[in-house]
Amino acid sequence: MTDTHTGPFIAAIDQGTTSSRCIIFDRDGRIVAVDQKEHEQIFPKPGWVEHDAAEIWKNVQDVVSGAMVKAGASREDILSIGITNQRETTMLWDKRTGKPVHNAIVWQDTRTDVLCKKLGGDVGQDRWRRETGLPLAAYFAGPKIAWLLDNVPGLRERAEAGELLFGTMDSWVIWNLTGGVNGGVHVTDVTNASRTLLMNLDDLKWNEEIAAEMGVPMQVLPEIRSSSEVYGTVTGGPLGGLLAGVPVASALGDQQAALFGQTCFSTGEAKSTYGTGTFMLMNTGEKLIHSKSGLITTVGYRIGDQDPVYALEGSIAVTGALVQWMRDQMGLIKTAAEIETLAMSVEDNGGAYFVPAFSGLFAPYWRSDARGVIAGLTRYVTKAHIARAVLEATAWQTREISDAMVKDSGVELVTLKVDGGMTSNNLLMQFLADVLDAPVVRPMVAETTCLGAAYAAGLAVGFWDGVEDLRVNWRRAAEWTPDMDPEVRDREYKNWLKAVERTMGWQDE
């Protein structure tokens, strides 16, 4: 046993929604050093969210050199660099100057709502679901490109003249790392491309018809590559001095990176990340499953020339955010962790159910007319019962997505791998195992997103031989086994579903 890490290492860049981070990992997948820097959130109008991509690129360079210094690592120690990123955030830049032509439009931004409705026409939001696996919703990148071209003067002409490049954050970071205006490679990976509404899920190529309908010129689009291969090497710029020649060797959207970091490499393996919201992904192997239950079909990852691995994805808008709401808006707790203390002061929910449909219901319902409800109130109910209902809401919402996944894939959920901040909540994790009737396991490395990018980048340069090498690194830190009377589970689930019913149709549309 030793705490001094010796190289070689893999560096992973996590270009996230609120910050950019760089983590350096050793061969065992242990963290050697971390550096992190937040960037500005720009809110020009209600519902609009932007990032300054130039600031982000500067921060990325800072955190990479920062992590290198903290690790005491030199160029020779770093075998490759991997990238994971906030998905769908969209930007355009000038390929000659290397300067962004507008702020990046962040995934949360809803300005393309109207455009998406228009594009859906008579068919509605499922118009391109067959091809892309996605509903026509404001998150996805394609319509954001169209918005920029149509609303920023001069951009459409410049795009058609071939002067502009589009990218999600992976493309922007890779292009800059590999030389920028001096020969930077313009690529994206299959997972990021699968969030544009522009890529065919079956052949993993840009769909020219959809691009034409959407008004996106083909020449702005990057080349689609696998998630794990050498795209180029670090060239020029401040990082060139530090890391020149180091291969840039992976790109994965953040949730797919977490799936990879959790080593969910077999069909039926699933991970759920509990943050402000929750994203659950299930590996469906080489089979592309079109969901009939309101889930999204996406690419899980693709390693080099191997067949792509697909995934079903379900997202929950409000999980950790509900605990924050209890703290900040209700003032019932002082810290997020105290929700557990309050909830544990009672035996059960006292008959109360809390459905946090604050901005509608996501998977599997997709009801924007739903609003939050606390159901089953009597004079008996205390704030402790409500705290319990708050935690139970996260578990039941996971159960609904898990049910949809099992239904769509025909594969039983064997265990659920969890990560994210809420996994420190023991009561919640136990309740989750109880309502899923499946073991819930937490891995030892909490940074599964960065780890996934590092794994993919290490595989590409032979640092690890294959996914079996990576499985060996996965260590169970805790496991919660189901311990609930099936009758109680069924009764509670029924009550939860009744409460969900009551959220719908609240908002007149």
Partner 1 sequence: MAKNIQSLERAAAMLRLLAGGERRLGLSDIASSLGLAKATAHGILRTLQHEGFVEQDPGSGRYQLGAELLRLGTTYLDVHELRARALVWTDDLARSSGEAVYLGVLHQHGVLIVHHVFRPDDSRQVLEVGAMQPLHSTALGKVLAATDPVAHAELVDAKREPFTARTVTELDEIERTLDLTRAQGYAADNEETFEGVAAVAAPIYDRRRLAVGSVGITGAVERVCRDGELRPELIAAVRDTARSVSRDLGAKPF
Which positions lie near partner 1, rule CB under 8 A? 1-3, 28, 30-31, 334-341, 421, 424-426, 444-446, 475-480
Torsion of CA 61, 65, 67, 70, to 10 degrees: -160
Q: How far apart are CA 236 and CA 323, in angstroms?
A: 45
Of 303 and 445, the one with the shorter C-beta distance to partner 1 is: 445
Of 276 and 424, the one with the shorter C-beta distance to partner 1 is: 424
- Smallest gap from Cβ 372 to partner 1, in A, equals 25
- Smallest gap from Cβ 271 to partner 1, in A, equals 17
Residues in Cβ contact with 157 at an 8 Å cutoff, skipping those fewer than 6 apart: none
Of 55 and 338, the one with the shorter C-beta distance to partner 1 is: 338
Residue closest to 268 by CA, chosen among 405, 468, 429: 405
Of 229 and 434, the one with the shorter C-beta distance to partner 1 is: 434
- Smallest gap from Cβ 477 to partner 1, in A, equals 5
- Smallest gap from Cβ 269 to partner 1, in A, equals 16
Q: What are phi and psi of 448, to 5 degrees?
A: -65, -30
Beta-sheet strands, E only, within 376-482:
416-419, 440-443, 476-480
Q: How far apart are CA 73 and CA 201, in angstroms?
A: 40
Of 343 and 405, the one with the shorter C-beta distance to partner 1 is: 343
Of 213 and 338, the one with the shorter C-beta distance to partner 1 is: 338
- Smallest gap from Cβ 3 to partner 1, in A, equals 6
Of 181 and 467, the one with the shorter C-beta distance to partner 1 is: 467
User: Which element (helix H / strand E) includes 27?
Assistant: none
Q: How far is CA 464 from CA 1, 2, 10, 67, 78, in A?
A: 21, 21, 11, 22, 14
Torsion of CA 122, 124, 128, 134, to 10 degrees: 180
- Smallest gap from Cβ 430 to partner 1, in A, equals 8
Residues in Cβ contact with 129 at an 8 Å cutoff, skipping those fewer than 6 apart: 135, 290
DSSP track, 194-242:
TTTT-B-TTT--B-HHHHHHHT--GGGSPEEE-SEEEEEE--SHHHHHH
- Smallest gap from Cβ 340 to partner 1, in A, equals 4
